[in-house]
Amino acid sequence: MVERTRTLDIACHGLLILGGLLVCLPIYFAFVVGSHTVGDVLAVPPPWLPGGRFFENAATAWQKGNLGRLLFNSLVVAVGITVGKIAVSLLSAFAISYFRFRWRMTAFWLIFASLMLPVEVRILPTYEAVTNVALPLQWLFDWVGIEVAVEWNMMNSYGGLILPLIASATATFLFRQFFLTVPEELCEAARIDGASPLHFFRHVLLPLSMSNMVALSIILFLYGWNQYLWPLLFTTEKDMATAVIGLKHLIPQSDAEPAWNVAMNAALLVMLPPALVVVALQRWLVKGLVDSGK
Amino acid sequence: MQASTSVATELPATPRVAGKRRAAVAGGTAGLKRAHYRNSRLPFLLLLPQLLVLLLFFFIPAVRALVQAFVITDPFGTTVHFVWFDNFRALLASPEYRSSVWVTLWFTLTQNVLTLGVAAVLAFATDRVIRGRGLYRSIVLLPYAIAPVIAGILWAFMFNAHVGPMTYVLKALGVAWDPTRNGFDAFLLVTFAAAWKHICYDYIFLVAALLAVPASLLEAAAVDGAGPGLRFFKIALPMIGPTVFFLLVMNFVYGFFETFAIVDAVTKGGPGGATMILVYKVYLDGFVHIDLGSSAAQSVLLMIFAVILTMLQFRYVERNVNYDV
């Protein structure tokens, strides 16, 4: 800054170190517990320093929690949500900002209204919607008088974990804002050259949107990986659960079987992939967050 | 000519969500590129995936919640009675719901103040230091990667009544601590876990906002003799005001809707409803107690909350536009 203020600078470093310790403390204890035997964990006083059984515990956690399969599920779900949200919102944003058609503002407001309906407030009816996606179609048939029973249950499927979450007002707005800053001349030139709307979208807009897509996809990947309520409701089969849900089942519920060492080791394993993403792609994450907050 | 083009040329200069509210007033062409296509079928096809998902998983469920809130269904689902506002009346009269409203209010408020306070201190410190800034930032950002439920598990273990290392420290200091029995302890634990998980979010925005304060202004003030404190209160704070307001709203959104997993991992709403936030109660009443009418009525009330919060978010956006130009 402008002047030299030694005391203030030292105070700032002190505060930041304190804040860093506060952030790391829970993770540190997970690591300490994750590297001891159950007996050590239950001892008084509890262990303060890491022990030597980290990899044994990790192996136990991996096998007991079926983590190989569940981490794979998490990856599929997180990537599916990321790709789905970006694709769906790019197309919507393109339609809303580059086409003049009836119901344009209606479509816009419909997407906007979804911001006001967070998952958590409509849990039960959405659950019913996923257990039978074809229900509205059934109503239509009943109303018309066709006697056909249709059912499409998305429980315990990747579709059920991904599809209901791929609508995104925030991402649509982000891309729309970006399209508004794209020079008009590009579209004019493309039209003069005889490019169809889809050709313009594919060869001009898409390459321009790349940095926005990367920044957004990091946030969406973390969002997908860390989902809790949806997989909790929509996966009753153990093999279809995500890693976060599997971890929840490893947590000791009673004092009868206090395997905290395995549970905390599993917690570290499950948070490792998103943590690596945050550390490696920090710059992009910050850009994505700040852009989508606007 | 002037009047009709003014809307189109003004809009790209206000690239924020607020533009759209003005857009709705201005008519059908606002928020549209000047060079656009006139095609009546293609845009519908492009919008179809998003609108279909919204219809199936957002709007139809929301309407069904609305309908269910006004009816009573018998346990076998055979008869349905329309009961006007009986579900709401019963809900608002029930002591459990009232206590849940208070718990939610205290929880979101405490969490909000805590999160924003700590994030602000860390952000200002980051803005002043030069050495190690990147490292500090990486560490503070780390909880962003951690799922709320895992954050809950980490804190639940640290302060576990039997094996938690922090419980040991507290006991050594003479503090009685048992979040499974004492409601206030449980409330504190959930609040701290929720704040710990969310500090990084506020921090990112505050650091970005402080970076955007023009250095020339700060230097001019320093030349005129203003110290670090005065510069902060007279220049930086007014300029990041809109960001602070935005974060307050976002913290409420987080506290109301996204802390479900933390409560589920740490206390399951107990002991004795001390951490029974509204979102957790909707879940319990709908899936565990199977009280459809009450659950639907709670959903409707929460939707009203959500609408108010979204509107507030909008206000930030509008103010931010004025500041930015």
Asked, for residue A231, whether it belongs to a domain, the answer is yes
List of chain B residues whose C-beta atoms are within 8 Å of the C-beta of residue A97: 31-33, 36
Asked, for residue A37, whether it belongs to a domain, the answer is no
3-state secondary structure at position B102: helix
The CATH number of the domain where A140 resides is what? 1.10.3720.10
Chain B, window 95-114: residues with a beta carbon less than 8 angstroms from a chain A beta carbon: none
Disruptive mutation site among B163, B252, B291 for chain A (greatest number of A CBs within 10 Å) = B163
Comparing A20 with A112, which gets the higher pLDDT? A20
Q: How far is CA A153 from the centre of its chain?
A: 23
Written as six digits, the tokens of A133 are: 């996606």
Give yes or no: residues B207 and B269 share one domain: yes
What pLDDT band is residue B22 in, cutting at 50, 70 and 90? very low
Q: Which segment of A180-184, A199-203, A289-293 scores lowest on mean pLDDT?
A: A289-293
Q: Over 70: is that where the pLDDT of B112 sits?
A: yes
Distance, in Å, from the CA atom of A109 to the CA atom of A106, rounded to the nearest integer, reads: 5
Give yes or no: residues B201 and B63 share one domain: no
Give yes or no: residues B252 and B149 share one domain: yes
Beta bridge partners of B72: B81
Q: Residue A112's domain spans which residues?
A: 68-250
Q: Which of A109, A117, A229 shows the shortest C-beta gap to B261? A: A229
Tell me whether residues A102 and B24 touch, CB distance under 8 A: no
Tokens 């059984």 appear where?
A: A53
List of chain B residues whose C-beta atoms are within 8 Å of the C-beta of residue A136: 55-56, 60
How distant is the Cα of B153 from the closest Cα of chain A, in angstroms? 8
**Which one of B59, B84, B109 terminates a domain?**
B84
Q: Which segment of A2-16, A62-76, B67-81, B134-148 scores lowest on mean pLDDT?
A: B67-81
Non-local (6+) Cβ contacts of A233 within 8 A are A123, A127, A130, B287
What pLDDT band is residue B215 in, cutting at 50, 70 and 90? confident
Disruptive mutation site among B14, B29, B50 for chain A (greatest number of A CBs within 10 Å) = B50
Q: Note the pLDDT of residue B322.
A: 40
Beta bridge partners of B81: B72
Q: Over 90: is that where the pLDDT of A118 sits?
A: no
For A99, nearest residue in chain B (alpha carbons)? B37
Measuring CA to CA, how many Å separate A4 from each of A1, A9, A103, B125, B231? 7, 8, 60, 15, 15
How distant is the Cα of B165 from the closest Cα of chain A, in angstroms? 6
Asked, for residue A199, whether it belongs to a domain, the answer is yes
Q: Over 90: is that where the pLDDT of A85 sits?
A: yes
B265 touches chain A (CB under 8 A): yes
The residue type at B55: L
Mean pLDDT throughout A56-76? 88
Mean pLDDT throughout B29-35? 78
The CATH number of the domain where B166 resides is what? 1.10.3720.10
Q: Is the peptide bond before A183 cis (omega within 30 degrees of 0)?
A: no
Q: Is the peptide bond before B179 cis (omega within 30 degrees of 0)?
A: no
3-state secondary structure at position B72: strand
Q: Note the pLDDT of residue B325.
A: 28
DSSP notation for B236-269? IHHHHHHHHHHHHHHHHHIIIII-HHHHHHHTTT
Give yes or no: residues B7 and B42 share one domain: yes
Q: Note the pLDDT of residue A157.
A: 83
Tell me whether residues A187 and B148 touch, CB distance under 8 A: no
Mean pLDDT throughout B183-212? 92
Give yes or no: residues B160 and B249 share one domain: yes
Distance, in Å, from the CA atom of B57 to the CA atom of A233, rounded to the nearest integer, reads: 14
Beta bridge partners of A99: B37
Q: Which of A16, A185, A277 shows the shortest C-beta gap to B129? A: A16
Distance, in Å, from the CA atom of A34 to the CA atom of A263, rounded to the nearest integer, reads: 8
Q: Over 80: is that where the pLDDT of B16 sits?
A: no
B145 touches chain A (CB under 8 A): yes
Q: Which of A117, A184, A188 shows the shortest C-beta gap to B306? A: A117
Q: Could you say which DSSP state residue A202 is in? A: I
Distance, in Å, from the CA atom of A132 to the CA atom of B273, rounded to the nearest integer, reads: 33
Q: Note the pLDDT of residue A257.
A: 67
Number of domains within chain B: 2
Give yes or no: residues B147 and B75 share one domain: no
Mean pLDDT throughout A253-263? 76
Give me the total of CB pairs closer than 8 Å, taking one residue from chain A and one from chain B.
351
How much of chain A, in percent, has pLDDT values that exceed 90? 27
Written as six digits, the tokens of A110 are: 């419909």
3-state secondary structure at position B79: coil
Give yes or no: residues B39 and B147 share one domain: no
Q: Is the peptide bond before B49 cis (omega within 30 degrees of 0)?
A: no
Task: Work out the mean pLDDT of chain A and round it to a whole number.
Answer: 86
Considering the entire predicted model, what is its pTM? 0.85
Q: Residue B175's domain spans which residues?
A: 89-324
How distant is the Cα of A169 from the closest Cα of chain B, in angstroms? 9
Q: Note the pLDDT of residue A294.
A: 53
3-state secondary structure at position A226: coil
| DSSP H or E run through A150 | none
Q: Which of B11, B32, B46 shows the shortest C-beta gap to A100? A: B32
Tell me whether residues A19 and B121 touch, CB distance under 8 A: yes
Asked, for residue A63, whether it belongs to a domain, the answer is no
Pairing mode, if any, of strands B80-82 and B71-73?
Answer: antiparallel
Give yes or no: residues B159 and B286 share one domain: yes
How distant is the Cα of B12 from the closest Cα of chain A, in angstroms? 5
Q: Note the pLDDT of residue B319.
A: 56
Q: Note the pLDDT of residue A254.
A: 67
Give yes or no: residues B27 and B102 share one domain: no
Asked, for residue A34, whether it belongs to a domain, the answer is no
Tell me whether residues A98 and B222 touch, CB distance under 8 A: no
pLDDT tens sequence across A151-199: 778 888 888 888 888 888 888 988 988 898 889 889 889 989 988 889 9
Tell me whether residues B31 and A96 touch, CB distance under 8 A: yes
For A260, nearest residue in chain B (alpha carbons)? B157
Q: From start to end of B58-205, where are the E strands?
A: 71-73, 80-82
Mean pLDDT throughout B30-45? 83
What pLDDT band is residue B88 in, cutting at 50, 70 and 90? confident
Give yes or no: residues B105 and B45 share one domain: no
Number of domains within chain A: 1
Tell me whether residues A187 and B36 touch, CB distance under 8 A: yes
List of chain B residues whose C-beta atoms are within 8 Å of the C-beta of residue A163: 53, 57
Chain B, window 271-300: residues with a beta carbon less than 8 angstroms from a chain A beta carbon: 279, 282-283, 286-287, 292, 295-296, 299
Mean pLDDT throughout A16-23? 92
Give yes or no: residues B243 and B182 share one domain: yes
Asked, for residue A100, whether it belongs to a domain, the answer is yes
B26 touches chain A (CB under 8 A): no
Comparing A9 with A76, which gets the higher pLDDT? A76
Q: Could you say which DSSP state residue B135 is in? A: H
Asked, for residue A55, whether it belongs to a domain, the answer is no
Q: Could you say which DSSP state residue A78 is in? A: H
Give yes or no: residues B79 and B164 share one domain: no
Written as six digits, the tokens of B31 are: 């928020």
Comparing B14 with B41, which gets the higher pLDDT? B41
B126 touches chain A (CB under 8 A): yes
Mean pLDDT throughout B272-300? 86
Written as six digits, the tokens of B17 are: 């969500």
Asked, for residue A25, whether it belongs to a domain, the answer is no
Task: Work out the mean pLDDT of chain B and round it to a whole number.
Answer: 82
How much of chain B, in percent, has pLDDT values that exceed 70? 86
